[in-house]
Each structure stands twice: as C-alpha cells, then as structure tokens.
C-alpha cells in the first residue's frame, strides 16, 4: 500500500495496516518531498514521494489510502482508479455530490476495490445490534434516534480548513460527523433514509485563525434533523461540534415493538437492551455471546476492552479481504462501506442542506444508481 496525505488520520491507517501483518507499506506522498520525507521518517512509513502522481506511478503500490483534505479526495481517488489501484478513502467520499457520483461511477466501472472509512461499522457490538435487528429480536422497528456531539470547535479561536467551504465543502458538522451517524443508522437498521427535515445553526459565526485573521463562518456547527426511513420508521439526530464536555459522543438507539437497543461510542463494549415487561439488560462484549456475524470483529476475550483503533482495524481488514478476493460485488464483506455508500452519504448531507435552505421543509433523498445493500457476511 501507499498513502497520500500524511496528516492526523494517516497514522491510524498505517497502524491498522501494520496490525494485519501481511501488507507492505511502500511509502507516502505529501504536499512536497520535504514534508513527505519528514513524515515518512516519523511514521516509519517507507519511502517518500514528491507528489501523489509519483506514488501512483510506482508498480509496487497496489492499494492507495487517500487521507488528504476533502477538496483533494476526488482528484487523488480518481487518479488512483485510473492508474489501476484499489482505493481506501477517508470520508467524505468527495467535497460535493457531483464529485461523489463521479467517483462512485468510476469505481463501479473500474472493477477495483473502493472503500470509504465509515469506521464505526467495525465495532463488534455494532455488528451485534445489526444482527439482532435483522433476526427480529426487537420486533418491528418504529423509531431510530441519537446524536453525534463534540466540543472541539467551542472556542472561537479554533479554526481549521474544514470550516472553509473551498477546502472542506459546504457542510461542516453534518459532513464531518453527521455523515458517520447516518451511515451507522442505515447500516445497523438495514433501512434507508428517504426524507429529511433539517434545522441548522452557526453558533460561532466568526473565528480567529492561528495568524490572528478573522474568518466569517458560513457552515453549520449545530444541526437537528428529522428523518423518515423506507420501512416507515421515523427518526431524529442531533449533531454539534460546539457543545462543551462532549468529546466524541456518538449514540444510536433503535426502538422496536418488542424491545430497544442502544449503543454509545464512548462506551463501546456495552450494548443496552431495553424491555417493556421485564428488566432491562446490558450485553457486555464477549465473543462467546455474540452472533456469529459479530464474533469475527471481537479479538480479545471478555473483560479486555476493545475500542476505536480496533474498530478501524476491522474495517481495514475487511477492505484487504475484499481486495484479495478480487474486489467483486459478491465477495464484499457485508460490513464494508464502499464508494456507493460514500455517494449515498453525500446525497443525505446535500438533502439536509437543501431542506434547511428552503426554510426547514421535508426534502426527499435521491438514491444511487444501484443498491448499496450487500449479501455476504464477514468470515
């Protein structure tokens, strides 16, 4: 593998690949040869390339991990596909719906592996919740709700390229973290969001950069969205990045006619099971108690916590399992998110922005050209 964009998340891609034990890290490309050389040395990541084109030209690189800023996702991923490389891209798939569709179609036509790192799918208890819902353990679902709350943008002196529409895209909170929640909700329930009604807010309308420059902010840092799913289920989600005390607070709850399930990312080794006429329960992550489809994602015995890096590793492991099998649609692990899911996610965020811009009205969500549901479980 080769990596393009050696920023914060790059180290976690490299860590996940190393943990697989059978993938060679050939090298990394950055914004310049000097920066790439420095990061390659810091990360012990092989050789440095002056730019991503040089990396793509190396026949030793079979898989490209795209961890560049959002505005470069389309350019780098498209070039990699055209060079015959499998691609593992950070989310969002691209900076706009149009670019996301272009990448989705290019990946579909290229017959290459194409993965978007919606990494919360990799938690064992997320897969357990999905299996329980599919088997009817909570009966017919009626309500899906939750949140993704952070506080890293609370201070008005916090400024990042993610808040610049030219670099991060039109959306901030929804595109950055709301996208994770929506993907998780659809994956766990097996249903699709068909309509949204969004109320967005910019709590901090002006921010100060590191150089003292003032920046007017046009993207949302707080959002509330009502949801409708294709199976008749209703839902809602709150997303915010200016909420003190919330570090990475992703929560998902699904209520059915016979029971409820709730999972929280900051307590990932527990799945809450709610009942009406008997005591509620908590399922602690224990491989011996998990559904077979979830068991393969738990690597330690009960009582040994597994967390974010382990879930990330699980998604990367699925990616390489698929690539080794030829990256055909019928061999894809069921939990693995592809460019089709990335494109669909872009459609969801775009529909939310459109709903808010229209004054808070229901907006129908378009669907990709092909289904994103898959048929094979991991293992």
The answer for residues whose C-beta is within 8 angstroms of residue 9's C-beta and 6 or more apart is 67, 90
197, 217 contact by CB (below 8 A)? no
Supply the pLDDT for residue 368: 65
Distance, CA of 168 to CA of 171 (rounded, Å):
7
Rounded to 10°, the helix 339-357/179-189 angle is 120
73, 94 contact by CB (below 8 A)? yes
Q: Enumerate the domain spans of the chain.
A: 124-297+338-353
Taking alpha carbons only, the member of 327, 263, 338 closest to residue 294 is 263
Strands (E) in the chain, as ranges, are 2-4, 27-29, 47-49, 63-66, 86-89, 114-116, 141-149, 193-201, 206-208, 214-216, 222-229, 234-240, 249-256, 260-264, 270-274, 281-284, 363-364
Q: Model's pTM, two decimal places? A: 0.95
Q: What residues form DSSP beta bridges with 116? A: 89
Distance, CA of 135 to CA of 287 (rounded, Å):
18
Tokens 């357990």 correspond to 128
Distance, CA of 248 to CA of 239 (rounded, Å):
11
Q: What residues form DSSP beta bridges with 309? A: none
Pairing of strands 270-274, 281-284: antiparallel
Distance, CA of 253 to CA of 289 (rounded, Å):
21
306, 299 contact by CB (below 8 A)? yes
Q: Which 3 state secondary structure label does DSSP give 27?
A: strand
178, 234 contact by CB (below 8 A)? no
Quote the DSSP letter at residue 26: -
Supply the pLDDT for residue 378: 35
Mean pLDDT by 10 residues, the chain (379 residues): 93 97 97 95 96 98 97 97 98 95 96 97 98 98 98 96 92 96 98 97 96 95 98 98 98 98 98 98 98 97 97 98 96 97 97 98 82 38
Measured in Å, how far apart are the chain's first and last C-alpha atoms? 23
Query: In 10 A of CB 107, how many CB atoms?
Result: 27
CA 242, distance to chain mean position in Å, is 20
> Does 181 sit behind a cis peptide bond, omega within 30 degrees of 0 on the bond before it?
no
What is the CATH superfamily name and number for domain 124-297+338-353? Answer: Dihydrodipicolinate Reductase; domain 2 (3.30.360.10)
Q: How far is CA 265 from CA 129, 137, 269, in A?
A: 13, 22, 9
Supply the pLDDT for residue 7: 85
Q: What are phi and psi of 234, to 5 degrees?
A: -100, 160
């Amino acid at each position: 593998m080769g990596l393009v964009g050696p920023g914060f998340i790059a180290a976690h891609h490299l860590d996940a690949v190393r943990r697989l034990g059978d993938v060679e890290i050939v090298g990394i490309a950055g914004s310049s040869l000097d920066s790439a050389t420095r990061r390659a040395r810091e990360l012990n990541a092989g050789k440095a390339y002056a730019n991503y084109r040089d990396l793509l030209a190396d026949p030793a690189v079979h898989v490209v991990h795209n961890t560049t800023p959002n505005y470069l996702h389309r350019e780098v991923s498209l070039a990699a596909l055209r060079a015959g490389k499998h691609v593992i891209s950070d989310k969002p798939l691209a900076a706009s719906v149009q670019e996301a569709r272009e990448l989705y179609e290019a990946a579909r036509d290229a017959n290459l592996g194409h993965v978007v790192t919606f990494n919360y799918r990799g938690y064992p208890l997320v897969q357990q919740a999905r299996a329980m819902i599919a088997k009817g353990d909570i009966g017919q679902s009626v309500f899906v709700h939750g949140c993704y709350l952070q506080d890293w943008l609370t201070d008005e002196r916090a400024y990042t390229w993610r808040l610049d529409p030219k670099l991060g895209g039109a959306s901030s909170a929804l595109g950055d973290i709301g996208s994770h929640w929506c993907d998780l909700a659809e994956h766990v329930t097996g249903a699709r969001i068909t309509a949204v009604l969004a109320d967005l807010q910019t709590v901090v309308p002006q921010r100060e950069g590191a150089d003292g420059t003032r920046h007017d902010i046009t993207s949302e840092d707080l959002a509330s969205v009502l949801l409708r799913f294709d199976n008749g289920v209703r839902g809602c989600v709150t997303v915010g990045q200016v909420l003190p005390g919330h570090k990475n607070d992703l929560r998902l709850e699904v209520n059915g006619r016979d029971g409820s399930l709730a999972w929280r990312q900051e307590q990932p080794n527990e799945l809450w099971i709610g009942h009406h006429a008997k005591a509620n329960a908590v399922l602690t992550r224990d491989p011996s108690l998990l559904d077979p489809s979830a068991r393969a994602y738990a690597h330690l015995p009960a009582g040994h916590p597994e967390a974010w890096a382990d879930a990330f590793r699980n998604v990367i492991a699925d990616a390489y399992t698929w690539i080794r099998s030829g990256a055909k649609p019928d061999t894809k692990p069921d939990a693995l998110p592809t460019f089709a899911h990335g494109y669909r996610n872009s459609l969801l965020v775009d529909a939310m922005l459109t709903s808010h811009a229209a004054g808070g009205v229901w907006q129908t969500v378009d669907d990709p050209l092909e289904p994103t549901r898959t048929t094979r479980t991991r293992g």
